[in-house]
Amino acid sequence: MSGEPRIGIVGATGAVGTVTLGLLAQRGYTDVRAFASSRSAGGTVPFGDRDLAIEEATPEALAAGDLDLVLFSVGTSASRELVPHAVRGGAVAVDKSSAYRLEPGIPLVVPEVNGARALENDGIVANPNCCTIPLTCVLKPLHEAAGLARVRVSTYQSVSGAGARRMDALRAEDPAEHNLAMDWTWEGDETEEESKLRAETRKIMELPDLPLSATTVRVPVLVGHAEAVWIEFERPLSADEATALLRDAPSVSVVDVPTPKDAAQTDQVLVGRIRPDRASEHGLALFLACDNLNKGAALNAIQIAELILAQQRVAA
Amino acid sequence: MSGEPRIGIVGATGAVGTVTLGLLAQRGYTDVRAFASSRSAGGTVPFGDRDLAIEEATPEALAAGDLDLVLFSVGTSASRELVPHAVRGGAVAVDKSSAYRLEPGIPLVVPEVNGARALENDGIVANPNCCTIPLTCVLKPLHEAAGLARVRVSTYQSVSGAGARRMDALRAEDPAEHNLAMDWTWEGDETEEESKLRAETRKIMELPDLPLSATTVRVPVLVGHAEAVWIEFERPLSADEATALLRDAPSVSVVDVPTPKDAAQTDQVLVGRIRPDRASEHGLALFLACDNLNKGAALNAIQIAELILAQQRVAA
């Protein structure tokens, strides 16, 4: 590969796709193509100060061999159908759906946590769930210092995690109708989101037996996910020590009270309320917030892409 | 005492006072007087199919000796100032503020949990915090069965808990501005709400050392508080056993997914998502929701009042 990397975005018109295009333009990429379903094909999407034509995301177009890297922001079944064609065409696929996250041999990557795994790919790298990404950014330095024993987390997830249409619905909703929801598919006694959060955290942290219990909740906020977290450690770790570790952690900012609104449109995982867990001996409680469309999705995928593009440049 | 109980409501124009008047009218009380600050005095408040004149809540009016029971729904400092005058006048005061909740010798009562304590009063009975009430309704039968070892709770509290003006503010807010908040006074590394939830639960459950860690969060919902709860027990308790116990518990309804909207305007604590805590051996996770103005405040206080009125009738 030489010169500009040739990047494709599949799902360019969705909530995460739109943020992805904005971030790519900001970062100076120029050889970028937008793909979407036949419904959107033929239209355009803004890209920096110009517009990109929307191409239909067909197997043929993705397999044509003229893309180095393809970022997928589509649903799980669309990813399963289309990702293999991009790989067949010689591109590396960074997939934001849950289609490949738990497949053995496919890296599931948060660059700050296990970035080296991105380079061990056979054409596909999976991007984790929007709650897993900030959680592992915070757990990683604490685990290295004191060893994770048990994790409990309850989430406050914004409607943008459920897509652009749900954002429009919240904008139009009478505030008297605002409610909490657990609007995920059920897997036995858990939401799919809860079991994802556990399984993905285990895979990324390489702690296959980590005890982790989650309660995932949708709240009437447009953008930004928050999480209340309790962590029990193998060894003592004071709130001050944890705070110092988190101040030094990449992509993490320590603040007094993290909120979705403060996290929105930033690249950082905000963490605060770091204090002893009054219900355990070696435990801490904390609260975190993160822009679920940005570091929780689009930015994390771009950071994965940049690890891969850097390797392609070295190999070229 | 003979005939109709003479009941006063102090703070009759607030969010909880309004619900209190509605519940008293529904329950057939007729000798009811409404008190509020000088700002509201002279106006009227609806009471069933008629209006009550609003009287100014002065020490003299409350101490005049013509009330059997006074329900206080005012702030902590107003309660501290006014409650003693009602008691001096011979009434029993049921106070919904936090002024007296942790005073030794003053009963703090959830009728379903420790109702007998209400009868041990010296003129004042305190009504717990709106998150403590539903939590203890759920913890009580589980504690009797298996012994509470540790409790962790994160809350999803509606803006009505912060007063009628905050409800108006949410109604008028651009949804893009909706956010989470921890809008309580700070006590060291906790919100006052978090330390209240621990201290009040310990007092009501008569477990002075119960380890309890809380994270309290305000969400952009108008009415109804929810709580994600993890409970570790001394002895094994299966999710099925806990569910059966909660189905039999007074004022508790077991549902699949409790939400604030389903709880609003009901008398019940909704509890669901009862499942093993995958992060502990003898642990369960669950989710609950409750109308914070109703069972979380006004109704609980009226239930306390009714225990006392029944005793007064027996004594008369």
User: Which regions in chain A score pLDDT beneath 50?
Assistant: 1
Residue pLDDT, tens place only, B282-297? 999 999 999 999 999 9
* Angle formed at CA B126 by CA B123 and CA B130, multiple of 5 degrees: 160
B131 included as an active-site residue: no
* Structure tokens belonging to residue A120: 């061990």
CB contact under 8 A, B150 and A279: yes
The Cα A154–Cα B156 span in angstroms is 10
The Cα A192–Cα B155 span in angstroms is 22
Contact residues, chain A, for B216 at CB < 8 Å: none
CB contact under 8 A, B261 and A179: yes
Which of B85, B137, B225, B290 is labelled catalytic? B225
Q: Looking at residue B1, what is its pLDDT?
A: 44
Beta bridge partners of B187: B190
- Which of A159, A178, A198, A262 is the best residue to mutate to test the B interface, defined by the most B CB atoms within 10 Å of its own CB? A178
* Structure tokens belonging to residue A273: 């309320």
The Cα B307–Cα B106 span in angstroms is 16
Name residue A215's amino acid: T
Residue that the structure tokens 């999803």 belong to: B156
* Angle formed at CA B178 by CA B177 and CA B182, multiple of 5 degrees: 115
Would you say B153 and B229 are in contact if contact means Cβ atoms under 8 Å apart? yes
- Which of B150, B171, B180 is the best residue to mutate to test the A interface, defined by the most A CB atoms within 10 Å of its own CB? B180
Q: Looking at residue B293, what is its pLDDT?
A: 93
The Cα A290–Cα A131 span in angstroms is 8
Instruction: State mean pLDDT over B43-62.
Output: 97
ipTM: 0.95
Q: In what order do the strands lie in the sheet with A225-233?
A: A212-215, A148-156, A225-233, A283-290, A269-276, A252-254
pLDDT grade for B215, boundaries at 50, 70 and 90: very high
The Cα A3–Cα A313 span in angstroms is 9
Q: Strand, helix or coil at B298?
A: helix
Which of B85, B130, B131, B143 is labelled catalytic? B130
Would you say A108 and A126 are in contact if contact means Cβ atoms under 8 Å apart? yes
Q: Looking at residue A29, what is its pLDDT?
A: 97
Kindly state whether B170 is in contact with chain A, defined as any CB-CB distance less than 8 angstroms.
yes
Residue pLDDT, tens place only, A213-264? 999 999 999 999 999 999 999 999 999 999 999 999 999 999 999 999 999 9
A131 included as an active-site residue: no
The whole-angstrom distance between A230's CA and the closest CA on chain B is 8
Burial B223-247 (b: 16+ CB within 10 A, else e): bbbbbbbbbbbeeebebeebbebbe
The Cα A83–Cα B310 span in angstroms is 71
Residues 6 or more apart whose Cβ sits within 8 Å of residue A182: A191, A216, A217, A218, B257, B273
The Cα A24–Cα A32 span in angstroms is 8
Task: Write phi, then psi, for B294 (nearest 5 degrees).
Answer: -95, -100
Would you say B68 and B1 are in contact if contact means Cβ atoms under 8 Å apart? yes
CB contact under 8 A, A152 and B279: yes
Q: Looking at residue A2, what is its pLDDT?
A: 54
The Cα A76–Cα A81 span in angstroms is 9
* Angle formed at CA A260 by CA A256 and CA A262, multiple of 5 degrees: 60
pLDDT > 60? residue B2: no
* Structure tokens belonging to residue B255: 């549902």
Q: Which of A151, A217, A232 sits opposite B156 (nearest CB)?
A: A217
Name residue B225's amino acid: H
pLDDT grade for B3, boundaries at 50, 70 and 90: confident
State the DSSP H helix or E strand holding residue A202, giving kind and residue range, or none if neither.
helix A192-205
CB contact under 8 A, B217 and A211: no
Question: How many CA within 13 A on the CB side of residue A46?
Answer: 7
Helix spans in chain B (H): 15-26, 59-63, 76-88, 111-114, 132-146, 164-172, 192-205, 239-248, 260-263, 299-315
Averaged pLDDT score across all residues of chain B:
96
Task: Write phi, then psi, for A232 (nearest 5 degrees).
Answer: -100, 140
Instruction: State mean pLDDT over B153-169.
Output: 95
Q: Which of A189, A217, A283 sits opposite B228 (nearest CB)?
A: A217
Indicate the pTM of the whole model. Answer: 0.96
Instruction: State mean pLDDT over B264-281.
Output: 94
